[in-house]
Structure formats: C-alpha cells, structure tokens
A and B are shown apart, each in its own frame.
Chain A
Amino acid sequence: MTAENQPWTHRFRPSCQAEVVGNERALSQFRTWVRSWEKGIPKERAAFLHGPPGVGKTSCVVALANDLNLDLLEVNASDFRTKKRLEELVGRASFQTVTITGKRRMILFDELEGVSGQQDRGGITSIRDIIKETMIPIVLIATSPGEKWQDKFRPLVDLSTLIEFSPVPFGAMVRRLRECAAELGIAVDLEVLEHLADRSQGDLRSTLNDLETVSRGKERVTIQDIGGLGERDRKDYTPDALNKMFSAKSLKEARSVISSAHIDYDTLFDWIYENLPVVLDSPRDLVRGMEALSRADIHQTRAQRTQAYRLLKYMFNEMTGGVALSKLYSTGTGLLSQVREKTATLGFPPGAFTVTESREGIEVKPVKYLGNDWRTVNNGLREVGAQWVRGGNAWLIPYFRPPQLVWRYRRTYQSRRRRNEVAAKVAERCHISSKEAVAEVIPLVKVMVDGDPGMADEITGWLDLDDKQSKWLKS
C-alpha cells in the first residue's frame, strides 16, 4: 500500500517522538524509563500508559522505539485470552534482551481495556508473571475512562510505573490538523478545523478521521462541508451513564446506556443495584425497581442456563427501563437528606457545615477549621460515601457510588479464608457439613470463645486451630 492510499491516521502517525503532539510530560517520563534500562533492570519492569482514546499512547511507544532503534514486539488484547498462547508469544522473548540482528527489544501490550473482567483474569495474571521475570522493558497500554479502571488492572498497576496521558490541547490539535491538510495540498478553513477539534474532546485520532472524511475529493473545505458528519458515539463516564439511565423517560432511552457505558453490562448492573435505593427514595418505587432488577437477574440466569443469549435483551430491558420507569413518586432528594441527617448527628451545632449540591455530587464544607475533630467528621461522612477533596477543603459525596461488593470481598478476603478453614475443622469434629458449621455452630462457638477464656483455649485446642484461625474465632 502506498502512502497515498493509507488512512490519514496511519499516514500521519509520528515516526519519532518529536512529531508526537501534546503530552510532553508523559513523553519525557516514558523516555526516561526506557533509557533507564540501559543501566540495568530498573525497579519497575513495566510502564503502564493510560489515558483517553486517540491522544497518542501507542504512537508515543512506536515513535520512541524508532528513535532508540528498538525491536518492538506488539501483542494485542485478543492474544492474551489464554495463558498458553501468551507464553508462546512472549514468554521466551522476555528473556532475550537482543534479537539475532543485535537490536534491543521491548514488548508492548496494547488495548488492555479489551481484556474483560471474568474470563480473562488468567490473562492479567500471566502478564503479571511475565513482568516479574522479564529481562526487557514491557509497556502496557489501556484506554482509561478516568474512573476506577485501576482496580481491574490492580496486579499490573502495582508492578508498573504509571504514565498518564491527557487529551490533546485544542491549539496543538488545530495546528497539527493544519499541517496535515497543508501536506496534502488541501485548503481547509480555520473554522472547520476549530469545529472538528472542539467536538473531539482532545481525541486527535478521531479528528483526523473526521478531517479525512470531509476533505475527500476536495481541494477546499468550508464549514458547509461538515454537515454530513455524524456525532461519534462517545462512551459515557459511568456516573453520567447512570444519570442518563435513571432519568430516562422511555425504554429506548434507558436501554441505550447498555451500549454507551464504558463498562460491561454485569458491572453496570452492579452500579444500578448499588445506587437504586438512593434514586428511588419512595418505598413504592423502590419495591418496583428492585423487582425489575430481580427479574433482570432471572432473565440472565435463564440465558446462561439455556445458552440462548437472545434472552439477554429481556434482562437489559428490566435492569434499565424497568428500573428507570419505576420512578413515579421519588423526589430524588434521598442522598441529600441522607447527607443532611448524617451531618446533623456528628455532634456539631447547626450551621457548622454548609451542604450544597454540585455537578458531581453533594459538597459538605466545614465553616471553620476543624483541627482534631476532622478525623471524627471524616469517619462519620465516609459512611455515606464521602471523600475529602484536598484543594477544595470539603467532602464530596458523589451522586453515584461504585458497587461495594467487590470492595467488600477484597476487604474480607483473609477473614473469609480463616472462616472456611475453621468451618472445615468444626465440620469434621462435629460430624456436620461445613455449610451447617457456618450457619449453626460457629456463631455459637464465637460466643463461647468470647465469653470464657478458659473455654476458648479448650475449644481451640480441641479443634486443633493454628494461631491465625484461633485469632479469627476470637475476633
């Protein structure tokens, strides 16, 4: 394919770092990390590049590999579905610091966001194992929607140096578009360039695509030419998606969040469930909304059982439209009154805090310096999901809070593990099942152990528990 036939996004892909637009700080951070390998293996063997789409993450890596004459092995999301396949691809390469031609190597895992939660967890673990042992630099790239994306990649994030990319600034983007047009000898009105740059929200790649479309077969492009350009489906930041869903007035509108949200429908379901009782603050709405979610759950179970995935659409209808259209009597002031109530119980005179609504959530601001009381207030407000905003000197309670389930499982991992070990021992000694031990016997054993230290020692000895297990039983 000659250069003329290539899409503009390929044709104008930077071949050296100097050509990359914007994100100067991320670029230099990345360069420094790659160069640190020349002096031996650095502490962090991977770099994790993240940011919105189309801002030059991959370009930056390719360009630097060119600059430093590195051999770049690119691996895509579809390649790390199975551990075996991944190891075939990169397992060996990660131990060979140079290719046969003497070039130094670097591995790039691109489009990590395509690795979906459940099925590919093995993929993430395998990448982690490779990072731990690699002798050559590994680069990870994910498009992050700017929310809790890090949780999904936690095992990787912990081992990597994080490099954040931002949207390409408006001015830099207009300049770059003009350069590209000029190179092809097309006259594009500044108005057009500004319009395209403005609607792209800092995504240079999509703007180049748009520019290519409107200039096709033309020597001069004016504002009249951009009429036919469709709005690109931008993925919604989850709280925005939820806001859209909960305020929808039609099934179609509510259902659109299934495809427009950044997250998969299972995660979306958890978000909806988490926030439903706050939005549907009237009991009548609440019960209808929960019933809709419950029905959604059943449709999903049926779809999975029968492998008839067409049944999923009924799940989608219930979890979005079913919930949204249950909202008849709710005032939507649930969170605000919850925050007001909480603030009132903190033991401060009325007027000690101002409570206001902002775009992202409810702000609680102390009227004067709290000193040592800050911690008490913080602990209290955290129960309603508040976060302290450093610069703003206020707490923010977001309108929508992320599902607490995953967090709760993670937080209780150790204690659940001990519980299962103790249950197995109780089951054996008492001739019952573990399930029965958990439900019927252990709660009473906890009371025994808590009430009488002598009896506690006798029981833990009799059950042959180790220190950690005994400690769990006594907690």
Chain B
Amino acid sequence: MSSGMWAEKYRPKALDEMWNQTEIVSRLKSFVKDRNLPHLLFVGPAGTGKTTSILALARDLYGPAYQNYTLELNASDERGINVIREKVKNFARTAAIASEVQFKILIMDEADSLTSAAQHALRRTMEIYTRTCRFVLIGNYSENIIEPIQSRCSVFRFGPLGEEDAKGWIKHIADNEKLNLLPEGLEAIYEASTGDLRKATNLLQAAAATQSGEIDDVTIYSVLGRVSPGRVRELINLGLKGQFMEAREVLRGLLIDEGLAADDIIRLIYSEVLRLNIPERYKVRLSDTIGEIDYRLTQGARAEIQLSTLVAKLVIIGEEING
C-alpha cells in the first residue's frame, strides 16, 4: 500500500495500538470482548483519537471486513436530517447476518453541528433501529448535544494529549520516516498543534517535504506562514497598519480562492489576536468585537461584509495603539 498521508499511515489500526487514552481504550476493549456495545458519544477536541478508536474497535470486532458493517457519515457534509435518515434507514434495516455480532455500527461525525431539531429526529431514528444498529456520535462539545441523546449513550470524554504523549507520537513518526527532527522543531510542532495529533502529523509531513535535512523551528514556522493561520496573521497586521484595502484583498483570497468558511476564519483570527504583541487591554477589546461579529455571522449575515467590518475595527484599534 502506498503510504500517502502519514496521518492515515500511522493511524492505529487496533485498540492495542492506541496512543494513550488508556482508560477509554480499556473500556472499549471490554465491549469487544462482550461482543456488544451501547450507543456511544465521543466528545473532545480535534486529533485526540475519537474517530481512530471507533474505527479500531470496529476492526477488532468484525475483522478485516469491518467496512461491511460500519457506515461513516459526517453531519456537516450531509444535506439535512432527511438525507441522513434515509441513509441510516438503508444501512440499518438489514441485520449484520454474516457476522457473529448481531448489529452494525453507524458513525456520525460532527454530530454536534446538527441543529437541535435535527438531533431530535436523529434520536427517534436511533430508537427505531436499536436492534440492528449501534450509533456512535462524535463531536467537539457535549453541550451541543441534546440531553435525550446524551442520556441514551455512554459518554466518553477525550482529553487533549499531554505534552509528553504528543511529543512521543511525533518522535515515533519522525524515527520511522528517518527524519532529522531537532528538539526545537519538535517543540515548534507541539506549540502549533497543542495536543492535536492529526495536525501535528500533517505539519511534520509538510515540513519533511520542504526540508530534506535538519527540521528545526525555522522549518516549522516557514510552513505555518504558508498556510491559513499565516494568511490570517497577514490580514490582521495589514488591518492594524491601516491598510484596509490590502487586508480586504487577503480576506477575499481566503474566502473565495481558498474557500474557507467564515467561522473558520473568525476562529483563526481569534486565536491569532490572542498571540499578538499588543497591550493586553486591546486584546480584551478585540475579543469583544470578534464576539459581536461572530454572533452576527451565526445570524446569517454576509461573511465578507461582517469580516470586513472586523478589519475596519482593527484599523481604528491599530491607530489607537500606535498613538
């Protein structure tokens, strides 16, 4: 098999291969042993092993043909709850006859992006098909999942990986790929990915592609400068320097050419603002402004207009800071 992306190549294939999350893993193993499992709800930040552990569980449970018994849906890619229901129906109405396990597994990623009305519809569907199908719902925040669903699921909370575990993982891949990763490089990857192993792995692979020799912090920063956070920082700096028109062009590039969603851009702006080298009280003011614009976006306002308004506010704050 061609290796492709390292994040997939090194994704643990069995529960035994899981990196940390030991408590969760041992409970999941007991489900495999019993050949039964309840509906599950996995919550936690990106890149902490939610999808990986359920795929590993499925493989342990069904063997190599696990794909016949699992269906992966991503709530944010499906067009509405009716489409989801239809897919679930088609998948769940036949029992898993060829397997000694009596049910199939439906994995619903980004379930927390469903509206609460859609979640109520989903809850009903879960009830109808419980006999033939187990639902595994995955999301970042449990608060966004309605209570009736939470109460029907075993909830597993995935914490961000600690520094030691995260670095261990990165080193593990670097050694396997025979990379010359210097400690500063490792530190920079960890800083940028903070416990998100997928991001860390992609970052390492991108760095390895640009640099065949030693990978240090400079290599990592130059990669970061070329991806969205770098472009967002450019946008913020142009705004603070009062170059509104130029900042607007960068914004249009992100929105249209790169196709980033408004909420992704505002999330990046927020995290970059917190890292800015400006007096702390301005960070608070900017955070308030960003919050207001973020709310307007949730109300369905036009992305470019609202984000441009935010840039205009950066201009005025920039002027105040520079006196």
A: which residues have CB within 8 A of B?
Answer: 273, 277-278, 283-284, 286-287, 289-291, 293-294, 297-298, 301-302, 305, 338, 404-405, 408-409, 412, 415-416, 419-420, 423, 427, 429-436, 438-441, 443-445, 447-452, 455, 458-459, 461-463
Whether the Cβ atoms of B109 and A297 lie closer than 8 Å is: no
**Given A273-B308, A439-B260, A448 and B209 touching (CB < 8 A)?**
yes
- Closest approach, in angstroms, between the C-beta of A422 and any C-beta of chain B? 10
Give the residue of B109, B199, B242, B248 whose beta carbon is less than 8 angstroms from that of A283: B242
- In the assembled complex, 11 residue pairs joining A and B whose CB atoms fall closer than 8 Å, in A order, are A287-B316, A290-B309, A293-B305, A294-B306, A298-B301, A412-B257, A431-B51, A439-B264, A441-B198, A441-B202, A447-B223
Whether the Cβ atoms of A433 and B301 lie closer than 8 Å is: no
With a CB–CB cut-off of 8 A, which chain B residues contact A305? 300
- Closest approach, in angstroms, between the C-beta of B222 and any C-beta of chain A? 9
With a CB–CB cut-off of 8 A, which chain A residues contact B205? 444, 448, 455
Minimum-distance CB pairs A-B, first 7: A462-B4, A451-B209, A451-B210, A290-B312, A443-B227, A452-B209, A294-B309
Whether the Cβ atoms of A430 and B8 lie closer than 8 Å is: yes
With a CB–CB cut-off of 8 A, which chain A residues contact B77? 427, 433-435
**Does B302 belong to the interface (CB within 8 Å)?**
yes
Give the residue of B226, B301, B315, B319 whose beta carbon is less than 8 angstroms from that of A443: B226
Which of chain A's residues has its CB closest to B308's CB? A290
With a CB–CB cut-off of 8 A, which chain B residues contact A450? 209-210
Q: How far is the CA of A322 from the CA of B167 in the complex (A)?
A: 53
Q: How far is the CA of A409 from the CA of B252 in the complex (A)?
A: 10
Task: Fill in one digit per residue for B204-238: 1 if any A CB lies within 8 Å of its CB, else 0.
Answer: 01101111100000000001001110000000000
Apart from A277-B244, A447-B226, what are 4 other A-B pairs with CB-CB below 8 Å?
Answer: A415-B257, A445-B206, A447-B227, A459-B5
Interface members, chain B 243-264 (any A CB < 8 Å): 244-245, 248, 252, 256-261, 264
With a CB–CB cut-off of 8 A, which chain B residues contact A409? 256
- Closest approach, in angstroms, between the C-beta of A417 and any C-beta of chain B? 11
Whether the Cβ atoms of A432 and B109 lie closer than 8 Å is: yes
Q: How far is the CA of A434 from the CA of B302 in the complex (A)?
A: 21
With a CB–CB cut-off of 8 A, which chain B residues contact A427? 74, 77
Whether the Cβ atoms of B109 and A447 lie closer than 8 Å is: no
Q: How far is the CA of A287 from the CA of B314 in the complex (A)?
A: 9
**Given A291-B309, A443-B226, A447-B210, A438 and B259 touching (CB < 8 A)?**
yes
With a CB–CB cut-off of 8 A, which chain B residues contact A294? 293, 296, 301, 305-306, 309
- Closest approach, in angstroms, between the C-beta of B289 and any C-beta of chain A? 10
Q: How far is the CA of A404 from the CA of B253 in the complex (A)?
A: 12
**Given A438-B259, A438-B260, A447 and B228 touching (CB < 8 A)?**
no
**Does B3 belong to the interface (CB within 8 Å)?**
yes
Interface members, chain B 138-165 (any A CB < 8 Å): none
Q: How far is the CA of A447 from the CA of B212 in the complex (A)?
A: 14
Whether the Cβ atoms of A273 and B305 lie closer than 8 Å is: yes
Q: How far is the CA of A432 from the CA of B259 in the complex (A)?
A: 16
Which of chain B's residues has its CB closest to A281's CB? B244
**Does B137 belong to the interface (CB within 8 Å)?**
no
**Given A298-B301, A443-B227, A433 and B74 touching (CB < 8 A)?**
yes
